[in-house]
Amino acid sequence: MPSNDNMPEMSLYQPVQVEDAISLAGTLAERGWLVGGGQDTYGWIKDRAKRPEALIDLNGIESMRGISETADGIEIGALVTLTELANNALIQERYSLLSSAAGRVASPQIRNIGTLGGNVAQDVRCWYYRRGLNCYRAGGNLCYADTPEGQNREHALFGASRCVAVTPSDTAPALVALEAQMVIRNAGGERVVAAEDFFVGPDVDILRTTVLRPGDVLTSVRIPAKWANAEFYFEKVADRNVWDFALVSIAAAMRVTNGTIEESRMVAGAVECIPRRLTSVEQAIQGRARNQETADAVASLASQGATPLNYNHFKMPLMNNLVKRALTV
Amino acid sequence: MGPHKVNITLTRRRFIKSVIFSAAAASSGAGWYMASAASNPAGGVERLVSINVNGRVRRVDVLPQETLAHTLRYKLGLTGTKVACNRGECGACTVLIDDVNYYSCSTLTHNVKDRAVLTVEGLRAEDGTLHPVQAAFIQELSPACGFCTSGQVMSAVALLKANPKPTRQQARDAMSGNLCRCGAYDHYLNGVMRASGQLS
């Protein structure tokens, strides 16, 4: 009997140049697995639910670390840890939405090693899938969560297509709200993808949650100056304060001038496979004050169109109430 | 095996260790836990690396996929670091790497080359004096069953290195990555506050 305490035999590559990592990722393709902090990785491998032949450990690549100011905002290396993000003075000052979100991930020890790149690229947390069952997302042809007895309290309200799992990332909604740009490199060169287009639902690709393909390396994330020092609100509701994934989270960025909201970005986490932009709320609050009256008028728009499963109806009022709080706190 | 005298100073810990490392363990039916200690996945290529553990450079053969918890416990005999969930969900395996706390079950040993690893065994002073956190935990009767204790100690040490006078809330946040199934959280918090000199 294999002990699930040990990981099975694998090769380990520890490149120190990003070019070497890209070349390895291209050569190994599906057989390789990129590792940042590894906090999502090792569980998959110990459980034998995923079996990569080789790990490509990115931790030695210094060029993928660090937070720097650019002409238009800041650039964050994909290997910047969640603790660094949560404690960075520049981010706290200008983009506190992102530092708040990073500070709510998992536990202190996980934030100490977990990276921004890994947090956005992590796989979904549906327990049927992670148990290693041959569901749609694992390449099979059924879903265990969306059945009469399926335990789907944590699953999707929107955008399900065969798979009903939700985005587990806390930083993803914040990045979408801040209009971040994801910098992706592969053997063919570099491409920059808006955070909003970086995440993909099961209707687009059921085997992946992002546009990253085998051979791609997410090297950094750029945050434009557009939302610097805006009014922000982040809240994550989970069963436990630590270690837990969101039941629903909200990341809001608002530009308020003379008491009225000029422009806003509201994004909910854990209600769809991708961070869900609440565009109807954004439109409804434009030109209104950030107050209780506005909150009461628009909150129910948040969950409009939801198609709840057997056990996740509670997420609808939860979403609405989080929008209310974003507009009144 | 020839006849041998029973060593009356044999402690439970030494006894368990000797069983683990003896050939008898393989057929003792003691299950997967010992098997995990004894069996390396077939064919893995071990590489000799130097890691700095508790101020000493240790040379050890390490598999590519080996976790730090495995190396510490089964190759270096440092069993003070406990493995409970082995999935980064409980904190029993917490160690310090360059003064920051990490889950050693979810850290590859190949990632700590050239870095300073501190385990609970390395806290005591040379003359045997306990670390202030250890002493405070004893005084506050912090542990109940004790299995999570070495992890709790390491998280408290990491906190006090970064923030010698934390508020109780800061301590609560800093210790939140360590689960205690006995629920002795407030006793551990009392210990942290005592160790930081804020409880008399």
| Residue A228 CB neighbour total at 10 angstroms | 15
Say what the pLDDT of residue B33 is: 45
Q: Which residues of B touch A (CB under 8 A)?
A: 32-33, 35-36, 39-44, 63-67, 70, 83, 86-89, 91, 94, 100-103, 105-108, 110-111, 155, 173-174, 176-177
Q: Is the separation of the CB atoms in B116 and B97 below 8 Å? A: yes
Alpha carbon distance A19, A33 (integer Å): 16
Asked whether residue A167 carries a pLDDT value surpassing 90, the answer given is yes
Say what the pLDDT of residue A241 is: 92
Q: How far is B2 from chain A (nearest CA, A)?
A: 33
Span A168-185, average pLDDT: 98
A-to-B residue pairs, Cβ atoms closer than 8 angstroms: 99
Alpha carbon distance A201, A214 (integer Å): 18
Whole-number percent of chain A with pLDDT over 70: 99
| Total number of domains in chain A | 1
Q: Is the separation of the CB atoms in A30 and A214 below 8 Å? A: yes
The residue with tokens 């002073």 is B125
A209-242 per-position pLDDT tens digit: 999 999 999 999 999 999 999 999 999 999 999 9
Instruction: Say yes or no for a CB contact (<8 Å) between A112 and B102.
Output: yes
Asked whether residue A4 carries a pLDDT value surpassing 80, the answer given is no
Q: Which residues of A54-76 are buried (b: 16+ CB within 10 A; e: fewer)?
A: bbbbbbbbeebbebeeeeebbbb
A-chain residue closest to B154, CA distance: A109
Asked whether residue A40 carries a pLDDT value surpassing 70, the answer given is yes
Instruction: Say yes or no for a CB contact (<8 Å) between A107 and B177.
Output: yes
Say what the pLDDT of residue B14 is: 58
The domains located in chain B, with CATH, are: 43-122 (3.10.20.30), 132-195 (1.10.150.120)
A39 and chain B: CB distance < 8 Å anywhere? yes
A47-76 per-position pLDDT tens digit: 999 999 999 999 999 999 999 999 999 999
Instruction: Say yes or no for a CB contact (<8 Å) between B177 and A14.
Output: no
Q: What is the ipTM of this complex?
A: 0.95
A51 and chain B: CB distance < 8 Å anywhere? no
A97-119 per-position pLDDT tens digit: 999 999 999 999 999 999 999 99
Instruction: Say yes or no for a CB contact (<8 Å) between A5 and B86.
Output: yes
Alpha carbon distance B192, B154 (integer Å): 11
Residue of A1, A4, A5 to mutate, testing the B interface (most B Cβ within 10 Å of its Cβ): A5
A280-327 per-position pLDDT tens digit: 999 999 999 999 999 999 999 999 999 999 999 999 999 999 999 999
Give me the CATH number covering residue A159. 3.30.465.10
Mean pLDDT of chain A: 96
**Residue A61 one-letter amino acid:** I
Q: Which domain holds residue A45?
A: 1-329
Using a CB-CB cut-off of 8 Å, the residues of chain A touching B33 are: 3, 5
Span A121-148, average pLDDT: 96
- Spell out, as residue ranges, where chain B has pLDDT lower than 50: 1-8, 21-43
Using alpha carbons, select from B82, B74, B81, B88 the residue that is nearest to residue B118: B81
**Residue A23 one-letter amino acid:** S
| Residue A210 CB neighbour total at 10 angstroms | 23
Span A41-48, average pLDDT: 94
Torsion of CA A53, A21, A44, A165, to 10 degrees: -130
Say what the pLDDT of residue B45 is: 85
Say what the pLDDT of residue B12 is: 59
Using a CB-CB cut-off of 8 Å, the residues of chain B touching A242 are: 176-177
Instruction: Say yes or no for a CB contact (<8 Å) between A6 and B70.
Output: yes
Span A28-39, average pLDDT: 96
Tokens representing A43 are 């569980």
Lowest mean pLDDT among A6-10, A15-19, B10-14: B10-14
Alpha carbon distance A268, A248 (integer Å): 7
- In chain B, count H helices and then E strands: 7, 5
**Cα angle for residues B75, B81, B86 (degrees, 5° grid):** 90
Say what the pLDDT of residue A76 is: 98
Tokens representing A128 are 């049927």
